[in-house]
Structure 1
């Protein structure tokens, strides 16, 4: 890229962007890149994600420059370059440890609709939330969640067999866990990698994955010493071991049936709505249970916003000593992620990468995650 083009892009894309935060973050993020031109392009791309108009494609980011050489250079930097996104994400994770002070990590899936079939990872999938088959990518993000705000840190892109075979031998920076074959493997691989980066084995992980069996989560995380809370279906079969419900015996029951039996033990719990930033109140109860092939004790807890009828949502956690109210507030941190994804991540282009390059998708998503971090850290205390 020519020097005038870079300078013009840096000038235009830095308008209204907090330079001090961007400068500080870029110095840490791109320290692992071996060449100064790579570090400079990384900052240019990050600023472009923050300020480019419309869809955050490489073309629109480069449009600030008005020079075809800028588009070609940035395209090569993201799509064809060999720089490893892992160390950049690790630097972002450590930066957020200090700046955001996360209380938990939240794992959530993202369905990214695509018009064509050529984008990496695209396949026809049934999406329960939409009730139909969708031509889409599915990504699993691990988010650092603070008191009120959240930021994505690590990612996995779900791959069909066809994509897995084409990606593996062509991408030098691909780690084995990035070619996982199931949602649970995608999620746990990303969490374990994040734990290695920041050294936080005791931070709780919220698995907001409705299609993943909580028993499988417990079997994977129990031996690793990572505490978790996982979304559970009301139809999931459990065995009550809680002495507060002697009438349940030692028989298997559906989770929502057991919680309904414990409804007289419900207590009101206040939690902060991430959209309105106002307190809300739910009723919650927790019951100790066993799940098949899980040695560790677990707690099932459920939530009612209307005291009548079945619980509206339920979860399973290995934090059996924690009060049910604290567990509910922890589970509710998934709503922070949903809100910040819609209001911040989408605006900085987290889902805007197109193309067949697996490395390109990860590099773009890494830089968009950094742009998200800039937004939430600089808008703290302002309107979200």
Structure 2
């Protein structure tokens, strides 16, 4: 089905879309040769088969001389990648306002230990510890597509405390130690606070996170949030619709949602193409986090624990914590679907344009590559040339 939210004009090709997009993206680059190299790099990410190395990309533009130029452009030049990302995010916001920003970690396995930020990390795709970089992508999500617009590379203390490593990788002095949770929050805050974009809901899988810390960080910038939480998260019900015996009693999110079973309501949703009706169940309970974790009262309203499941399935299927209290459960489920959309688009577009393929060592080089891979991703979306996606389920299994 033609994407209704990113409708390519008749006859629009990736080349034409890139030509129009590049005038916006590379306006901040001071020299014409830099702008030309930027376009070539994106063309290579879109056009080269297999791994998107600088050598493979340069094979489209003249071999060894082009390889040296592109290598310098990515790893040795001085152009600032942040304004390019900001331009991409604002351009997409003007075309199709995002419904949410999904915060998605990305693990990038590496063979050696010289790539900036590489460390022993758990790779969910492999189910094991591996040598890898790890970053967080901020994905602007519409109903039909999603595009990464910002990235934050997580740097372990082993890199930040090593003066030689910092110097060799050109890690900026402003970089300091942070947890992956903090990395996610800062990636979102940098997008909406520093770039002046609307504070769209931050959607994040926080099952392994310090939920109280994430909530506090997002609340500090007034962010709407929808966080998937684990069954073992401890909460206290403050909902008058529940029995008095549960009031202010701390229990796990799973236990509370079992108590709230009588509050379940049916929710009917259609798939992205108007078909594929899904019948589900939701229940919403007003909660607070334990006082010892929630160190100060919220200035942005209360929290709601949302249980989601399917008719005939186990209850609850998923648990989500949100401060968005003015939306119908069906609208919250629509935001939850954004995480499925990102997973699909990561596999069918982002990986195809080489978002994980940078083989250099420098901090700035990694960010420039990630920025231009995001631009290539946007071109694939805007031109309608991305591989078709399977329908995203409205209610989790």
- What SS does the aligned partner of 1:332 have? helix
- The match for 1:258 among 234, 253, 256 is 256
When residues 279 and 140 of structure 1 are mapped into structure 2, their CA distance, relative to the original with a 3 A threshold, is farther
| Map of 2:232 onto structure 1 | 235
Structure 2 vs 1, CA of residues 173 and 126 (structure 1 numbering), >3 Å: closer, same or farther? Answer: closer
Distance 1:151 1:310, change over 3 A: same
3-state SS in 1 of match to 2:159: helix
Aligned residues of 2:168 and 2:362 also touching (Cα < 8 A): no
1:301 aligns with 2:306: yes
Gaps of 5+ in 1: 1-15
Counterpart Cα distance in 2 of 1:250 and 1:220: 24
TM-score normalised over the length of structure 2: 0.86
Q: Structure 1 residues 120, 279: CA separation in 2 closer, same or farther (over 3 Å shift)?
A: farther
**Relative to 1, partners in 2 of residues 1:382 and 1:118: Cα closer, same or farther, differing over 3 Å?**
closer
Asked if the contact 2:58–2:67 (Cα under 8 Å) also holds between the matched residues in 1, the reply is yes
Aligned residue in 2 for 1:4:
none
Over 3 Å counting, the alpha-carbon distance change for 1:276 and 1:343 in structure 2 is: farther
In structure 1, the residue matched to 2:184 is 187
1:199 aligns with 2:204: no
How big is the shift at 1:147?
Answer: 1.8
Report the Cα offset of residue 266 of structure 1.
1.4
> In 2 relative to 1, CA 380–322 (structure 1 residues): closer, same or farther, beyond 3 Å?
farther
Measure how far apart 1:199 and its partner are.
Answer: 2.5
Q: Give, in angstroms, the shift of residue 274 of structure 1.
A: 7.1
Instruction: Please state if 1:221 is matched with 2:221.
Output: no
8 Å CA contact 1:288, 1:320 repeated in 2: no
Q: Is the 8 A contact 1:268 1:282 kept in 2?
A: yes
Within 5 Å, give how 1:20-169 maps onto structure 2: 20-127=16-123, 130-164=126-160, 165=162, 168=166
2: CA distance between counterparts of 1:274 and 1:346? 23
Work out whether residues 123 and 136 of structure 1, in 8 Å CA contact, stay in contact via their aligned partners in 2. Answer: yes
Contact 2:156 2:177 in 1 (8 A): no
Listed one character per residue, the Cα deviations across residues 49-81 of structure 1 (whole Å, up to 9, x for unaligned) are 110111111011011134210001100100111
In 1, the alpha carbon distance for the partners of 2:198 and 2:97 equals 15
Instruction: Tell whether the 8 Å contact from 2:349 to 2:377 is kept in structure 1 after alignment.
Output: yes
Query: Which residue in the other structure is 2:333 paired with?
Result: 328
- 1:383 aligned counterpart, secondary structure: coil
* Aligned twin of 1:10: none
Taking the aligned partners of 1:112 and 1:270, their CA distance within structure 2 comes to: 38
Q: TM-score, normalised by structure 1?
A: 0.89
Q: RMSD value over aligned CA atoms?
A: 2.5
Higher relative contact order (CA 8 A, sep 6+): 2
Q: Kindly indicate whether the alpha-carbon contact (under 8 Å) linking 2:239 and 2:247 is maintained by their aligned counterparts in 1.
A: no
2:172 and 2:13 mapped to 1: Cα distance?
Answer: 32
Cα distance in 2, alignment partners of residues 43 and 216 from structure 1: 40
- What is residue 11 of structure 1 aligned with on the other side? none
1:42 is displaced (CA, Å) by 0.5
User: Could you tell me which residue of structure 2 aligns to residue 249 of structure 1?
Assistant: 247
Q: For residues 5-16 of structure 1, what are the structure 2 equivalents within 5 Å? A: none
Stretch moving more, 127-136 or 31-40: 127-136
Change (3 A) 1:179 1:354: farther
Q: CA deviation at 1:276?
A: 12
2:361 equivalent in structure 1: 356
CA apart distance, 1:382? 8.2
Tell me the distance in 2 between the aligned counterparts of 1:194 and 1:64: 33
Q: How far apart, in 2, do the equivalents of 1:173 and 1:34 lie?
A: 23
- Whole-Å Cα distance in 2 between the matches of residues 108 and 181 of structure 1? 17
Structure 2's unaligned 5+ residue stretches are: 1-11, 390-397
User: Which structure dedicates a bigger proportion of its chain to helix?
Assistant: 1
For 1:6-56, what per-residue CA distance to the aligned partner results, in whole angstroms no more than 9, with x for missing partners? Answer: xxxxxxxxxx95222111111111111111111110111111111011111
Aligned-partner Cα distance in 2 for 1:179–1:25:
34
Q: Which residue of 1 aligns with 2:6?
A: none
